[in-house]
Amino acid sequence: MKKSWWKILAVVLLVYTIVGGLLLDVPRLMIVNESIRALYFHVPMWFGMVLMYLISVIYAIKYLRRNDPEADIASAGFAHTGLVFGFLGILTGMIWANYTWGTPWHGDPKQNGAAIATLIYLAYFILRGSLENQEQRARLSAVYAIFAFAAMIPLIFIIPRLSSSMHPGSGGNPGFNMYDLDSTMRRVFYPAVVGWILLGIWIASVRIRLINVEEKIHELEYEKNK
Amino acid sequence: MKKINSLLAIMIVAIPAFSQEPEMADAMRSEGKIYVVVAILLLILGGLVAYLVTLDRKVTRLEKKLEENRHS
């Protein structure tokens, strides 16, 4: 139980996100109205996705340096969880956009960028699935993971800021301008981000451990058949 | 003078926009129905977390079993 304190922290923060996110005061704004609370759930998906992809790329670099097959499995596991977060981010964004912008897909630069980044990461799994040889698969996908991360950052963080995006904090604005006015939302938003990220790490770790077990079983079977 | 005029113009446009209160779910809150939503979301979160905990434990069991098999 000692090792799982952060899992308990994740649950506590998520319970707080739901209770605080729905019951605490939020700024009264036109257009978004009460739906501003979706911020506590939609935006942490992107924070989670970016962090999962970041951990994935760190393990990819680790694999290339040390040739450790477990680093390859970890890299793939975090990329997989990041992809789930990305899909949830896109879908929740579409629901929210339908309400505030009028259409689910607005062609907003950030929306398009997120969609392209998700496609790039989908290709990562096509690449992994198409290679039989473990070493070849690990090396190629590690290199691709670095490329995918390097492509994702400008697509999500830079291009939407250079053009006019309807997302707050984009279109030339440096950051959380709209929310900077309101410290009440930060009280829930930051714990929400940490909570969702910890949950993502938890899910990824279970998946990675499961695939490691699977690999070890394969090894045992291979030794037996020798 | 131009600046003052444009400032006035902005105020004239902006005042009606601000005088109207954005619509919030105040009635839903005062009736206490928001707690229904909170309860449902907490239950879903609790259920998913409980499921994740059982998966986590199952993997731990598999890892232990595999270690035992290796040494035997």
Kindly state the average pLDDT of the residues A55-82: 97
pLDDT band at B1 (very low <50, low <70, confident <90, very high): low
- Which chain A residue's Cα is nearest to B63? A213
Is there a contact between A33 and B70 if contact means CB atoms under 8 Å apart? no
pLDDT band at A169 (very low <50, low <70, confident <90, very high): low
Interface ipTM: 0.86
Q: In 3D, which of A124, A144, A142 has the Cα closest to residue A68?
A: A142
Kindly state the average pLDDT of the residues B8-29: 68
* Higher local confidence (pLDDT), B12 or A221: A221
How far is residue A97's CA from residue A54's CA, in Å, rounded to a whole number? Answer: 27
- Which chain A residue's Cα is nearest to B56? A206
For the cut 70, the answer to whether the pLDDT of residue A209 exceeds it is yes
Please provide residue A113's backbone torsions phi and psi, each rounded to the nearest 5 degrees: -60, -45
Highest mean pLDDT among A15-29, A94-108, B50-64: B50-64
Question: What digits encode the pLDDT tens for the residues A174-204?
Answer: 445 555 557 788 899 999 999 999 999 999 9
- Using CA of residue B37, residue B39, residue B43, residue B46, what is the dihedral sign? positive
CB A90 within 8 A of CB A118: yes
- List the single best residue of A2, A8, A24, A28 to mutate versus B (max B Cβ within 10 A): A28
B-chain residues near A33 (CB < 8 A): 22-24
For the cut 90, the answer to whether the pLDDT of residue B71 exceeds it is no
* B4–chain A nearest CA distance, Å: 26
Q: What is the pLDDT of residue A119?
A: 97
Q: What is the pLDDT of residue B23?
A: 86
- For chain B, the residues whose C-beta falls within 8 A of a C-beta of chain A are 17, 21-25, 34, 37-38, 41-42, 45, 49, 52, 55-56, 59-60, 62-63, 66, 69-70
Please provide residue B32's backbone torsions phi and psi, each rounded to the nearest 5 degrees: 80, 5
How far is residue A35's CA from residue A39's CA, in Å, rounded to a whole number? Answer: 8
* Higher local confidence (pLDDT), A26 or A131: A131
For the cut 50, the answer to whether the pLDDT of residue A156 exceeds it is yes
Ranges A33-37, A133-137, A139-143: which has the least confidence: A33-37
CB A16 within 8 A of CB A179: no
Question: What digits encode the pLDDT tens for the residues A6-58?
Answer: 999 999 999 999 999 999 988 888 888 888 899 999 999 999 999 999 999 99
Domain boundaries, chain B: 24-72
Nearest by CB to A15, from B42, B55, B62: name it.
Answer: B42
- What number of CA atoms fall less than 13 Å from residue A113's CA on the CB side? 22
Q: What is the pLDDT of residue A180?
A: 53
Please provide residue A208's backbone torsions phi and psi, each rounded to the nearest 5 degrees: -65, -45
